[in-house]
Structure 1
Amino acid sequence: MNGISRRGLLVSGGAVLGLSACGNGVGGGGAARLDARVDATRDFLHQQYPGTVDLTNKSAGVLYMPLMTEAGFVFGGAYGRGALRINDVTVDYYSATQASWGLQIGAQQYAHALFFMTQQALANFRASDGWAMGADAKYATPDQGGSIAADTTTTLAPVIALVFGQAGFIAGATLEGTKYTRIIP
């Protein structure tokens, strides 16, 4: 079998659509509810990984994604919503989507934050129709979160991604290929 079958496409489409029923904030609640989730995520991040406080203060802006839900059975997808903050004030809301295929089975939820370390990186993100996470970002692991420092990381990459709070049973979480799109909650 060389191509994607209709059955496989329907199963993967159903998995992605099913994510909207997983309690990940997809089903409305408006800006106030999303901002409250972002506040809780920011507070958790700063409390659990103290080094991110300095990183936040030195960044041009931070995109907080409080809850990403990912599921897959050969074909998979992930979805979540969050807010871009500049000087800790929400300026835009974004959705994040991801599609994948390959050897995978399971589901997980996680949070992540993107720290834009330069004004240019932030401007490029905000000006795009749909920005895709790529290789230009530096990934920090949660155990680095307590010791990560803006001094050493700002010269390495214009965007620093931190994935944290994983729960579920898919091995690993990556943001590679995640597409971010501005939304109105």
Structure 2
Amino acid sequence: MPSRQRTNQLFVVLLLCFGLFASQVGLAASKQVIDVEVEEALQRFYKEVGGARKFANMAEGMLVFPSVIKAGFGIGGEYGEGALLVKGKTVAYYSTAAASIGFQLGAQSKTVILVFTEKSALDKFRQSDGWEAGVDGSVALIELGAGGTIDTSNIRDPIVAFVFGNKGLMYNLTLEGSKYTRLNK
């Protein structure tokens, strides 16, 4: 009987994790809420990363997801909504979603900012029906130089990403497999 009890406990934990994920998907934010959260995420980016404002001003576009929720127990998923900004103005709203299998337990929230440094990369992203990192384009995760500053002279990638957790910029992550889909808002 202990194995049946363990199976039931596993099932309950899975339901809870997916309930958290589904609740985030079901509670789609309004444009106004997304806009406020995007602005807060950008202010945090500018505050925590030296040279971020200058780098953003040079960018062709920025896709900002203020809160991407990831939950899982063996099998996991993540979801978030954000906005695409071109020259500082919101031009579209997007969702990001991904699934994963492997050792994982619990839930976390992160902020993801994708910066398009080349117009061709931005155009390809905007023209796609569902863009997937690692398939439709590669995304380079940025690690900061000395003093927590962006070294713009070394950035040669057409799309770069910054991922923040509760304690600041996160490293050794991958966005491959994340799918970005335009929302009708």
TM-score (norm 2): 0.81
Q: Distance in 1 between matches of 2:26 and 2:111?
A: 14
Correspondence list, 1:13-92, <5 A: 15-21=17-23, 27-92=27-92
After TM superposition, give the deviation of residue 172 of structure 1 in Å: 6.5
Q: Deviations over 1:19-72 (max 9, x none)?
A: 2435xx861441111100000100110011122112211110000000000011
Give the partner amino acid of 2:108.
Answer: Q
Q: Distance in 2 between matches of 1:74 and 1:144?
A: 37
Aligned pair count?
Answer: 171
Give the partner amino acid of 1:72.
Answer: G
CA contact (8 A) 2:17 2:107 kept: no
Q: Deviations over 1:86-131 (max 9, x none)?
A: 1110000000000011122121110010000000000011001111
After TM superposition, give the deviation of residue 159 of structure 1 in Å: 0.3
After TM superposition, give the deviation of residue 152 of structure 1 in Å: 1.7
CA contact (8 A) 2:61 2:122 kept: yes
TM-score (norm 1): 0.81
Give the partner amino acid of 1:165.
Answer: G
Q: Distance in 2 between matches of 1:117 and 1:13?
A: 40
Aligned residue in 2 for 1:159: 159
SS at match of 1:174: coil
Q: Deviations over 1:128-158 (max 9, x none)?
A: 11111117221114677931132220x2x11
Q: Distance in 1 between matches of 2:180 and 2:51?
A: 25
Q: Which runs of 5+ in 2 are unaligned?
A: 1-9
Q: Which runs of 5+ in 1 are unaligned?
A: 1-7
Change (3 A) 1:72 1:85: same
SS at match of 2:175: coil
Q: Distance in 2 between matches of 1:87 and 1:131?
A: 21
| Runs of 4+ more than 4 Å apart | 11-14, 142-145
Change (3 A) 1:53 1:139: same
Aligned residue in 2 for 1:184: 184
Aligned-pair identity (%): 34
Aligned residue in 2 for 1:4: none
CA contact (8 A) 1:61 1:85 kept: yes
CA contact (8 A) 2:21 2:69 kept: yes
Return 96-105 or 138-147, whichever deviates more: 138-147
Return 111-120 or 141-150, whichever deviates more: 141-150
